[in-house]
Chains A and B, each alone.
Chain A
Amino acid sequence: MSLVDLFTKLVADDDVAIPVAAIQVLLGVIERSKAATMHGLDEELRSACTELLRADPAMLRGRTRISLASGSELFLRHVTRTFLEFEDFERCKAELLKRGETFLGRSRDSRERIAALGHAFVRDGSVVLVHGRSRVVIALLLRANETKQFKVLVTESTGFPSDFEDAGIATRVVSDSAVGYFMERVDCVLVGAEGVVENGGVINKIGTLVVATCAHARAKPVYVAAESYKFARVYPLNQRDLPDDIDDAAPTCDYTPPHYIKLLFTDLGVLTPAAVSDELIRLYS
């Protein structure tokens, strides 16, 4: 099975995030590798990453390449750092595989961890506007629902909010163009992210920028819930700086600059947008 086929198979499961699938594929590369030196293994991993990034975007099923790039880059960096930690190649390889397994095992927990950190920001009796179908956001709101009563407004393009209805959360679907109309009664905006960029801004489903701009104008806090493996080393200054797999005629994602975002809920803790670059600098310096 080629790497791309394996990757496609992994992301077919809706519960597996793209960076996690990428890391799983790369772990497979390490396992099968016949390279005898660290340099050789590094080369193999890099070419595997390139192969994944060059593959047909259809395999991502509408999601961007940003998180694929962030996941594989994070992993490559981790491999480099592990090389520095161990002298012996075989031991280093074994350690990489062991740590990789632990990471895969825990990657599902990170959603729960974010929910535990972020649910207190949803206040009793508040109205939360949700845009984009993010699993973390759903987990967070379900967690908040255990102790509080609140209302959720879901934008129409997000799709039918069956998770919220099943949990008994008062939910209302509003048309995307009515976000401005409803914003005055919203208490906070909660979105997920495809990728979190270096300055603390986020790349997310198209329309996030409209919602965030609107919330900013009304001084309503915008919270982003995202796993830390979505932190990407890109620094877009405007929408045209986004990766080229976004179709300019019908964009599926947009970039929301950091000053529209109040806080990010991540598995590393609750971060201000400024803290994101701090985390990335600490890893890559």
Chain B
Amino acid sequence: MDVKWPPQVEAQLKKVVSGVSSRSVRGQQCALETLGLLRSVVGTCRWKTARELLERIRWIGRVLIDAQRVELTVGNVVRRVLLIVREDYAQLRRNDVGATTTPSLHDVLRGREDDDALDAQVPELRQNVIEQISELYDEIATSVDPIAAMSREHLHANDIVFTSGNSDDVVAFFKASRARFETLVAETAPSMAGHRLAARLPNATVVPEAAVYALMSRVHKIVLPAHAVLANGALLTPSPGYLLALAAKQHKVPVIGLAPLYRLCPQYPHDPLDLADLHSPQDVLPYALLPSSVKHDTPPPQVLNPTLDLVPPDLIDLYLTNTGAHQPSYVYRLLAELYSPLDHDL
């Protein structure tokens, strides 16, 4: 699609693309910037029908996703906005939103009324969609508060809690608890994000990954931040999250994932390595340290530096989202409410 954007949107698009592709904006920030961009698209672009609007939003979505495949929140936010448009349109047209949601067993025989091609012009649509986007913006901006509020139920006095990575959600979750508990932080080599997390927490002990298993018998709870939650309930989390979860299973330690709704993705992990976010091997094995004989050997040594772990759903006990606590087996239900099946492929 050859699109002519207003200069203001063009500039904003460039800014977001450069932000996500350089990975200087991530997670929540990234979700909010995408949403801001989509708000300008809805507000300032020329479009007449819902179909045209959906097409434009999808185009933006594809550009942003191509710019950074690892940042799954972008696709989630775009799909949320697409559903907003579909629902608002259906509501303004005939007070029936059935056709946009996930099909149920009842629809198998009943059949679904075809959309009236989304081609009718509804003047109120622009205003309604912008209002709903603003609501979504607030929801995402404050999504950590309800999660942090749950820490009182989950973190108790004298607990020993294990975590990894360096996530704002985890910091907020720990700080909201009034109980005095101890925190163990996996150092998360080679990025050493664990060191930075420990500096933000009171009462934290940094431990190397190699000591995870040895310490697990004393731990009461594992808290893992979500990079994303996938459709089967699997958790994509900074490594060594999988290591923690596997050790926790041996010692029957409960594992809690912190997952604001904008991190729930409708994709399935078809190819786990695709999601691993491989970084430069320089941090694992500096090139300068290789003897020259190895450098010229064929084939050269392969060094992998994945930064994300895919934890299968059966190792997670509970997800804390901004709408409450859910089991991994319930994730599909949340997804059915958040996205339209028509938008899974952008």
List the A side residues contacting B1 at CB < 8 Å: none
A278 and B341: CB pair below 8 A? Answer: no
Nearest to B112 among chain A residues (CB) is: A102
B108 and A229: CB pair below 8 A? Answer: yes
A103 and B109: CB pair below 8 A? Answer: yes
Cα distance, A281 to B110, chains bound together (Å) = 17
- Given the interface pairs A120-B270, A123-B271, A274-B329, the reply to whether A78 lies near B110 with Cβ below 8 Å is yes
List the B side residues contacting A283 at CB < 8 Å: 104-106
A270 and B270: CB pair below 8 A? Answer: no
- Given the interface pairs A263-B232, A270-B268, A272-B233, the reply to whether A74 lies near B108 with Cβ below 8 Å is yes
Q: Which of B63-119 contact A (CB under 8 A)?
A: 102-106, 108-111
Q: B338 at the A/B interface (Cβ < 8 Å)? A: no
Q: Please, what's the 1-or-0 string for B256-278, where 1 marks a CB less than 8 Å from any CB in chain A?
A: 00000000000010110000000
List the A side residues contacting B102 at CB < 8 Å: 268-269
Cα distance, A279 to B109, chains bound together (Å) = 14
Q: A32 at the A/B interface (Cβ < 8 Å)? A: no
- Given the interface pairs A74-B108, A99-B111, A229-B108, the reply to whether A272 lies near B103 with Cβ below 8 Å is no
A267 and B329: CB pair below 8 A? Answer: no
List the B side residues contacting A282 at CB < 8 Å: 104-106
- Given the interface pairs A75-B109, A263-B232, A270-B268, the reply to whether A279 lies near B332 with Cβ below 8 Å is no
List the A side residues contacting B329 at CB < 8 Å: 272, 274
List the B side residues contacting A268 at CB < 8 Å: 102-105, 108
Nearest to A74 among chain B residues (CB) is: B109
Cα distance, A258 to B116, chains bound together (Å) = 40
Q: B333 at the A/B interface (Cβ < 8 Å)? A: yes
Interface residues on B, range: 20 to 34
Smallest beta-carbon distance B108→chain A, Å: 5
Cα distance, A267 to B106, chains bound together (Å) = 12
- Given the interface pairs A78-B110, A270-B231, A272-B232, the reply to whether A279 lies near B268 with Cβ below 8 Å is no
Smallest beta-carbon distance A90→chain B, Å: 19
List the A side residues contacting B106 at CB < 8 Å: 78, 81, 282-283
Number of residue pairs A-B, CB distance < 8 angstroms:
65
Smallest beta-carbon distance A75→chain B, Å: 7
Q: Which of A223-265 contact B (CB under 8 A)?
A: 228-229, 231, 262-263
Cα distance, A262 to B336, chains bound together (Å) = 19
Q: A121 at the A/B interface (Cβ < 8 Å)? A: yes
Tell me the interface secondary structure of chain A in the complex.
helix
List the A side residues contacting B233 at CB < 8 Å: 272
Q: A29 at the A/B interface (Cβ < 8 Å)? A: no
The count of residues in chain A whose C-beta lies closer than 8 Å to any C-beta of chain B is 32
Q: Which of B231-268 contact A (CB under 8 A)?
A: 231-233, 268
Cα distance, A270 to B269, chains bound together (Å) = 13
Nearest to A122 among chain B residues (CB) is: B270
Nearest to A200 among chain B residues (CB) is: B329
- Given the interface pairs A120-B270, A269-B341, the reply to whether A231 lies near B109 with Cβ below 8 Å is no
Q: Which of B145-182 contact A (CB under 8 A)?
A: none
Cα distance, A74 to B341, chains bound together (Å) = 23
Cα distance, A123 to B268, chains bound together (Å) = 12
Cα distance, A123 to B269, chains bound together (Å) = 11
Cα distance, A75 to B109, chains bound together (Å) = 7
Nearest to B330 among chain A residues (CB) is: A274
List the A side residues contacting B336 at CB < 8 Å: 269
Q: Please, what's the 1-or-0 string for A99-118, where 1 marks a CB less than 8 Å from any CB in chain B?
A: 11011001000000000000
Smallest beta-carbon distance A94→chain B, Å: 14
Q: A60 at the A/B interface (Cβ < 8 Å)? A: no
B333 and A279: CB pair below 8 A? Answer: no
Q: Please, what's the 1-or-0 string for B286-329, where 1 marks a CB less than 8 Å from any CB in chain A?
A: 00000000000000000000000000000000000000000001
Cα distance, A245 to B330, chains bound together (Å) = 35
**29 residue pairs from A and B, CB less than 8 Å apart:** A74-B108, A74-B109, A81-B106, A81-B110, A99-B109, A99-B110, A103-B108, A120-B270, A121-B268, A123-B270, A229-B108, A231-B105, A268-B102, A268-B105, A268-B108, A269-B102, A269-B103, A269-B332, A269-B336, A270-B231, A271-B332, A272-B329, A272-B332, A274-B330, A278-B333, A279-B104, A282-B104, A283-B105, A283-B106
Q: Which residues of A contact B (CB under 8 A)?
A: 23, 74-75, 78, 81-82, 99-100, 102-103, 106, 120-121, 123, 228-229, 231, 262-263, 267-272, 274-275, 278-280, 282-283
Kindly list 12 other residue pairs between chains A and B, CB separation below 8 angstroms, not including A103-B109, A278-B333: A75-B109, A78-B106, A99-B109, A100-B109, A103-B108, A103-B111, A106-B111, A121-B270, A228-B105, A269-B336, A272-B332, A274-B330
The 6 closest A-B pairs by CB, nearest first: A78-B109, A274-B329, A283-B105, A102-B111, A279-B105, A120-B270
